[in-house]
Structure 1
């Protein structure tokens, strides 16, 4: 096109491809639902005998091989692809740029029955450029950075709030122990938000080098973390007889202490467990203050429970995790923190890719141990060099591993034969160079790291930078494990690429050696799904993907629009950059066949049960689908939310009683649903909420208009624009949740005992009547005023006026 300079594809004139026919919707309670369920369970098996789908290339539209390889690797992850193909009714979003809809359309085209030779991903590419400007233009980008950005945006568009469970003891082990309880207000390294799992195995040094890893600079392109941070302080009260109180609670606290120590005793991947346990055991665990800190981070449901503690006070999430000083009565200093409850969210992205890591840091001066639970979406593994491999394979390291009970079996010597083989292996390594395996990379990642020099640990108790030790273990494993090998290093003046070949298994990657001792993971074996490879140097090159087709289990090379079948040896010799592994569980396949057999029985059923189509997709594609969850089409009252009633057929599938009984007895969960109805309670709440929005907006517009007409107000009240934007989104219907109490703490500063407006603060000015109106509804504070005849005041914030003017136009 001479007008815009873009390439015109003539084949588009032949008409667009027909969309992939979705699974049959529920037109009536008894219309062919058994066949629908059979399709959901066994359509994959029936397609084995047909020509395989998914062998469609992607057109390179200007140095986009990084995107094409990543999309092909994702497309061959069955849990994610089947969601977009069979649960398309759940892909509903009004968030721009609607990247989830573009990705759904792309997946439908790639797996269409017409089997086009290639597809042009223009819509998705435009959307990703709108999300992250770094991908604009035609320069080569990093494939792993693109993956992070894409999956982060998909999660944001598809996330749904989680129903709060009654028992909140799932993650009660993420605690940090203090000997005396911190008194400082300064942020520490251990309490800062973890943005990537890169910080785990490599310790702080890996986190410092984060900007130097990744094809085009991870520091630039890594999307902002979507984890929400929840913090709480669980306290044992003290009094005049604190020693007696401590004696009474020590027996109960001993259980918690043992639980913490057992989590790492004998489970350190690098032999650090013994040292840490010794330090922890010899240090006083609870002082007279008896302060224990809990910090839990998750984008999903993460809950906290004090087993034996008698008092608990919560604090709001903060950008920097600063723990305020505690008074003798253990009360928070800040009295104006927002008490708005932080909702937990989940999406198909978090269901498929999220795992959990337990990370601990110990100060070597005061022996304080900080334990943090954090989610990870991928593991960024270092590629060990000769010295690192020698350390990993050394006899001393083997001994420590055996004592730790983690990776010992991988390296333990077994008699004189193994002794001789070890020396032969060392000679081969000395002559030909080291052979690096993916297991070596995992061991290097989970080995303990010494925090010293430039990477010293900022200890809250010591209030200084101290030498420390850090290591981590896997608490829960994801359904699909994404592994990123750090092949690129970016220095100040140049970039380099690590071309070392890393040997990786096609089947049977085992994470058992790296699990925390109390991990509840049952399936830890993984099989390879796809590999992203980079050919070239750090400054230029080309990306391709090797993917295993899930329908015929053959491997194919995806090189832009070219798709070629390759052998397994070709895949194993590839220079891997990003790998996708899926849980392997033969029992899940047997279970699907059992359900298929039950559905084939023609015995009539008196009752029919509705089951979430999304959970059935998990049952079909997950190794561990988890309990049945019908919350995606039910409200907390047991009915269908009014907003979902119009497309309820896209959300549910009806099963006969025998199939439901089998699934319910096998997986649990629920609730059981054999009748669908629109929830009148939710409808009433929606109407009340809408009425409240109109009332607050009308009153604010009227009061603000009077304030604008006032020529010389005696006093002006200041309000945080961050809070006001949340309130404005609520009253305009952009959000369903009220903003919570007014929080002016970020715009206030204490001068000579008086709160005044912080210079340059993001604040707006309102009248006394407006403040009283908002404060009477939402509460909060603190109160900040400005007197025009005493100090200079800025003009009213334009966003406040914009809200008033928009309402007047309406």
Structure 2
């Protein structure tokens, strides 16, 4: 007997269903016609009418503890009760396709399907996902208690890496002409654009505005817990913009593009009183936009008296850099498209990525740091995946609630709205509240934690601000606000403090609302957020001490709106008061919008009307999932199944049914008029242009790989080479992944800067550098295609006396011929 775990049914092999054709074996020809998907109905919008849901809804399935894994079970239950994410894995399975090991997204999809299966199992065993997590992060190996919030970060980061897709950024005519104009006068440096919105936890706004604060005090309940390894940082280029009439013409369009950011700074600058008088920013300061490699936008504000030049880094430089010099030196046998890049200072032009994780959990915070010596203000826009909030003590609460502090908060443009006095009634109630706090102790609310996080902070003493203008540590002031709010807000309360010799846990009860958490007091003035009210979805709780304890989760079932306690295998219904009395550690809030519910009912009604339609429209299944689970789904986006040429990419044509839903014209007209976006698609076809590009790319891979193998084989047969060329293994691994088909993007110019060191004006190989050795012919071959440098050579047989200590030589300009 055979049981199918995917559909939960028994399979009878004697029925002879025919051979199964795996996806990888299906090859598309140029005449491939796509099978039409079925027309969408109410089930595509998740409008279920099962009567059995009233008796026992789906999702009440426990997780077996497989060895001190309550931290994982609680996190998975809390995450699986977030409808936008769960519905994606349940209904958009065609997008969960990855070749990246350990394929954690596949394991999570299988787990979510089991938890929400119609058979309603009592519990499941998350063995596959646990093995994948241990392969990703060795911290979770063994059987010691770990931190549930660190597990969440690791899981969501890996899901993002496996499911991310590049964002389409077409270059319109205006931008193209602007890029050409910048090429004429721009520098030779290329700066990497945002390669990936690497998500981070906003624990503080940072004294240095661009520096990420250490995760002190987060931790968990177990020993040996370490923060995840830091993400790789990309280099940032710099450029000086002269303050003159010529530059005003060249950079006029750039300034117009950043006018919105300058308006944002004006609001913050007036509110903070940074200049003393709160005047207009354009009159008092110069601004220059900066986009870092992490996707953050930094705007440096300087006084005009300080100088006539400002620094501009990052994103805009990719369009301002000069074109590489033309050359006819192409390796024999290679096409003209393989011409080398200008110099090793150029860096790989990287893409921006998005995934369901970024769509659901990504928000933006604008943080500002002012130097109290030179009045320079640095403003940073950075993405966050969760907010790590401090739990204020008694003195902190008194400061937050004091009238004097309220005034300073309002002047600072921070979150004083949350505590602003409202007449004599509020004055009397404030003193009554102080008496209760003095008698019974402080009552900490989640609003207090948010206010403590977003309040202004003085940077002095050991926490002084490193001013880029003063080039010294200075006293400063920092504050931050929310620029864009996420669909699901993840809040982490810092209950654990890890010192050098011991760890402690803050057991203070933090009261939190089940409905109506409002982020309006903490929004930036020019924020475009429309919905700022949140309702609670799930809570992760920890019982015990910093060294030992147990995790459970309280989750609200989205099908019947009742609360349940998930304690490993046990699932029990609880009251709302039980949830509110819980010792919260991690909370998940979802945007609340009644208008979105009404809009879904309207579309459901349109789908139920059988009107004759001459045209059928294809809509992204992923966007429809947003429509039925997001409070603000945003414009219609069909980019996940279309290429830049308007066709279906050949790689996605084999499973196009999983990517699109066919809607009647009346439903499309309503959605398009309400949300916009698009493009409108009435016909699906395989893109021949993409197919041709894929064939050219495959030919290039084979050519480079075959040539390298042949040259390297000849190098290995050489007994005593006169000269050996060094190459960075970091770059070589990227190139190897490209030629072997593991990545679609070429590696960019050769970058030997990390393996080189300057000694007495000469570049030599750094001791212990991660480098490889290749022949001169191999170097010439790779350099003719990719460019870069610097050139680093090793002469093993210069003289008999130097046989044991080879002389190292390098040249970044030209190579010495022997």
Q: Please, what TM-score do these two structures have when normalized by structure 1?
A: 0.82
Return the alpha-carbon distance in structure 2 between the equivalents of residues 328 and 694 of structure 1. 16
**2:293 alignment partner, SS class:** coil
The verdict on how the C-alpha distance between 1:108 and 1:474 changes in structure 2, with shifts beyond 3 A counting, is: same
SS in 2 for 1:713: coil
User: Are the aligned partners of 1:271 and 1:404 in contact in 2 as well (CA < 8 Å)?
Assistant: no
Name the stretch that deviates more: 366-375 or 165-174. Answer: 165-174
Q: Deviations over 1:340-373 (max 9, x none)?
A: 2111111111111111111222222233322222
Per-residue CA distance 1:174-223 (angstroms, 9 max, x = gap): 99999999999999999999953113279899966623322148995433
Q: CA deviation at 1:669?
A: 1.1
Give 1:260 deviation, angstroms.
1.8
Which moved further from structure 2: 597-606 or 746-755? 746-755
Instruction: Quickly say closer, same or farther: Cα 1:649–1:251, change in 2 above 3 A.
Output: closer
- Note if 1:200 corresponds to 2:205: yes
Closer, same or farther: CA 624–8 of 1 in aligned 2, 3 Å? closer
Closer, same or farther in 2 for the Cα pair 1:128/1:488, shift >3 Å?
Answer: same
Moved over 6 A (4+): 1-19, 23-27, 44-47, 167-194, 201-207, 239-256, 267-293, 295-311, 314-334, 791-810
Distance 1:162 1:509 in 2: 32
| 1:187 and 2:196 are equivalent in the alignment | no
SS at match of 2:812: helix
CA contact (8 A) 2:87 2:625 kept: yes
* SS of the residue 2:722 aligns to: coil
Question: After superposition, what is the alpha-carbon deviation per residue over 1:50-85, rounded to whole angstroms, capped at 9, x for unaligned?
Answer: 531111111111111111111110010000110111
Please say which of residues 557-566 and 245-254 is displaced more in the overlay.
245-254
Greater mean deviation of Cα atoms: 127-136 or 612-621: 127-136
Preserved contact between residue 719 and residue 766 of structure 1 (Cα < 8 Å): yes
Shift of 1:132: 1.1
CA distance, structure 1, for counterparts of residue 715 and residue 140 of structure 2: 45
Gaps of 5+ in 2: 23-30
Q: Secondary structure at the match of 1:44?
A: coil
Change (3 A) 1:399 1:45: farther
Counterparts of residues 110-149 of structure 1 (less than 5 Å): 110-149=115-154
Question: Are 1:700 and 2:708 counterparts?
Answer: yes
- Classify 1:633/1:421 alpha carbon distance in 2 versus 1 (closer, same or farther; 3 Å): same
* Displacement of 1:536: 0.7
| CA RMSD, 1 decimal | 9.3
Taking a change above 3 Å as real, the CA distance of residues 411 and 560 of structure 1, as seen in their structure-2 partners, is same
Corresponding position: 1:161 with 2:166: yes
Distance 1:735 1:255, change over 3 A: closer
TM-superposed deviation, 1:560: 0.9
Deviation by residue 1:79-98 (Cα, 9 ceiling, x = unmatched): 01101111111111111111
Is 1:551 matched with 2:564?
no
Q: Which moved more, 1:263-272 or 1:791-800?
A: 791-800
Deviation at 1:459, TM superposition (A): 2.3
> Structure 2: how far apart are the matches of 1:274 and 1:285?
23
Mapped contact 2:366–2:381 kept (Cα < 8 A)? yes
- Residues in 1 aligned to 2:811 and 2:286: alpha-carbon distance in whole angstroms: 59
3-state SS in 1 of match to 2:730: helix
1:772–1:281: structure 2 CA closer, same or farther, 3 Å change rule? closer
Task: Give the superposition deviation at 1:790.
Answer: 3.4
Deviation of the 1:234 alpha carbon: 6.1
The 3 A distance-change label for structure 1 pair 269 and 108 is farther
Contact residue 146 and residue 222 of structure 2 kept, 8 A: no
Residues 24-43 of structure 1 show CA distances to partners (whole Å, capped at 9, x for unaligned) of: 999645567676xxx42423
C-alpha distance in 1, partners of 2:659/2:302?
Answer: 30
Quote the offset at 1:283 in angstroms. Answer: 15
1:757-776 deviations in Å (ceiling 9; x for gaps): 22222221211111111111
Q: Structure 1 80/6 Cα, relative in aligned 2: closer, same or farther at 3 Å?
A: closer
- Once residues 649 and 420 of structure 2 are traced to their aligned partners in structure 1, the CA distance between those partners, rounded to angstroms, is 58
- Change beyond 3 A, Cα 1:731–1:768: same
Q: 1:798 offset after TM fit, Å?
A: 19
**What's the CA shift string for 1:136-161, capped at 9, x where partnerless?**
11111111111111111111111111
- Cα distance in 2 for partners of 1:177, 1:471 equals 35
Preserved contact between residue 231 and residue 294 of structure 1 (Cα < 8 Å): no
In structure 2, the CA distance between the partners of 1:406 and 1:466, relative to structure 1 (3 Å rule), is: closer
Alpha carbons 2:218, 2:496 under 8 Å: kept: yes
TM-score normalised by length of structure 2 = 0.81
Q: 1:448·1:471 contact (CA, 8 Å) conserved in 2?
A: yes
Residue 506 of structure 1, CA deviation: 0.5
Output aligned runs, 1:59-98, within 5 Å.
59-98=64-103
1:275 to partner: Cα distance: 14
Aligned length: 804
State how far apart, in whole Å, the 1-side matches of 2:320 and 2:775 are.
38
1:713-724 → structure 2 map (5 Å cutoff): 713-724=721-732
Distance 1:238 1:467, change over 3 A: same
The answer (yes or no) to whether the contact 1:297–1:375 under 8 Å persists in 2 is no
What is the CA-CA distance between 1:730 and the residue it aligns to? 0.7
Q: State the Cα distance separating 1:411 from its structure 2 match.
A: 1.8
SS at match of 1:173: helix
Q: Deviations over 1:576-622 (max 9, x none)?
A: 00000000011111110110111111111111111111111000100
Taking a change above 3 Å as real, the CA distance of residues 767 and 209 of structure 1, as seen in their structure-2 partners, is closer
Deviation at 1:467, TM superposition (A): 2.2
327-336 vs 267-276, which deviates more? Answer: 327-336
Per the alignment, do residues 754 and 660 of structure 1 end up closer, same or farther by CA in structure 2, a change over 3 Å counting? Answer: same
Does the Cα contact within 8 Å between 2:489 and 2:590 map onto a contact in 1? yes
Kindly indicate whether the alpha-carbon contact (under 8 Å) linking 1:172 and 1:306 is maintained by their aligned counterparts in 2: no
The change in CA–CA distance for 1:208 and 1:330 in structure 2 (over 3 A counts) is farther
Distance 2:319 2:230 in 1: 31
Aligned to 1:474: 482
Give the structure 1 partner of residue 11 of structure 2.
Answer: 8
Change (3 A) 1:176 1:555: farther
Residue 301 of structure 2 aligns to a residue whose secondary structure is strand
2: distance between equivalents of 1:661 and 1:195? Answer: 39
Contact kept, 8 Å, 2:182 with 2:250, in 1: the verdict is: no
**Closer, same or farther: CA 763–298 of 1 in aligned 2, 3 Å:** farther
Residues 121/572 of structure 1: CA separation in 2 closer, same or farther (3 Å cut) = same
